Structure 1
Amino acid sequence: MPPGIRAQRALATRRRMVAAAYELFCANGYLGTSMAAIAAEAGVAVQTLYYTFHTKAELLGEAIGAAVVGFELWVKPPPEPIEITDLLTWNAWWPDFDAAPDSRTALLVYITNGISILERMGPLVAAMHGGAGDPDAEAVVQIAEQRRIATYREIVERIACKPGGLRDGITEAEATDILVVLFSAEVFHSMARGRGWSRDHCARFFVETLTSLLLGPGLADGG
Structure 2
Amino acid sequence: MGPVKSARPTRAERAQQTRHRMLDSARTLFISDGYAATTMERIAETAGVAVQTLYYTFRTKGQLLCEVVETTAAGDEEVVPVAQRAWVRDMLTAPSGPRVLALAVEHGADIFVRAAPLWPVVTAAAADPHVEHYWRRVATDRRAGQARMVARLAELGVLRPGLEPDRATDLVVVLFGHDVFRSLVTQAGWSVPEYKAWLFTTLAQQLLQRHRLPPTAHSDLSYSHLITT
**Do the two structures share a fold, i.e. TM-score over 0.5?**
yes
**Contact residue 102 and residue 164 of structure 1 kept, 8 A:** no
Q: CA–CA distance in 2 between the matches of 1:180 and 1:49?
A: 36
Number of paired residues?
210
Q: How does 1:75-94 map to 2 (within 5 A)?
A: 75=78, 87-94=81-88
1:63 matched to 2:68 = yes
The letter for the 2-side match of 1:150 is A
1:51 equivalent in structure 2: 56
Residue in structure 1 matching 2:172, options 166, 179, 183: 179
2:12 equivalent in structure 1: 7
Using a 3 Å threshold, how does the CA distance of structure 1 residues 154 and 16 change in structure 2: closer, same or farther?
Answer: farther
1:19 equivalent in structure 2: 24
| Structure 2: gaps spanning 5 or more residues | 1-6, 217-229
Using a 3 Å threshold, how does the CA distance of structure 1 residues 42 and 153 change in structure 2: closer, same or farther?
Answer: farther
1:191 equivalent in structure 2: 184
**Contact residue 83 and residue 145 of structure 2 kept, 8 A:** no
RMSD (Å), alpha carbons: 2.5
The letter for the 1-side match of 2:33 is N
**Contact residue 123 and residue 189 of structure 1 kept, 8 A:** no
Q: CA–CA distance in 2 between the matches of 1:3 and 1:175?
A: 54
Shift of 1:92: 4.2
Q: CA–CA distance in 1 between the matches of 2:15 and 2:82?
A: 25
2:147 equivalent in structure 1: 153
Using a 3 Å threshold, how does the CA distance of structure 1 residues 54 and 206 change in structure 2: closer, same or farther?
Answer: same
The letter for the 1-side match of 2:44 is A
2:206 equivalent in structure 1: 213
**Contact residue 92 and residue 148 of structure 2 kept, 8 A:** no
Using a 3 Å threshold, how does the CA distance of structure 1 residues 67 and 222 change in structure 2: closer, same or farther?
Answer: farther
Overall identity of the aligned pairs, in %: 36
Shift of 1:89: 4.1
| Structure 1: gaps spanning 5 or more residues | 77-85
Calculate the TM-score normalised by the size of structure 2. 0.80
Q: How does 1:27-42 map to 2 (within 5 A)?
A: 27-42=32-47
2:225 equivalent in structure 1: none
Using a 3 Å threshold, how does the CA distance of structure 1 residues 160 and 38 change in structure 2: closer, same or farther?
Answer: farther
**Contact residue 119 and residue 185 of structure 1 kept, 8 A:** no
Calculate the TM-score normalised by the size of structure 1. 0.82
Identify which range, 25-34 or 205-214, moves more after superposition. 25-34
1:74 equivalent in structure 2: 77
1:165 matched to 2:166 = no
The letter for the 1-side match of 2:153 is I
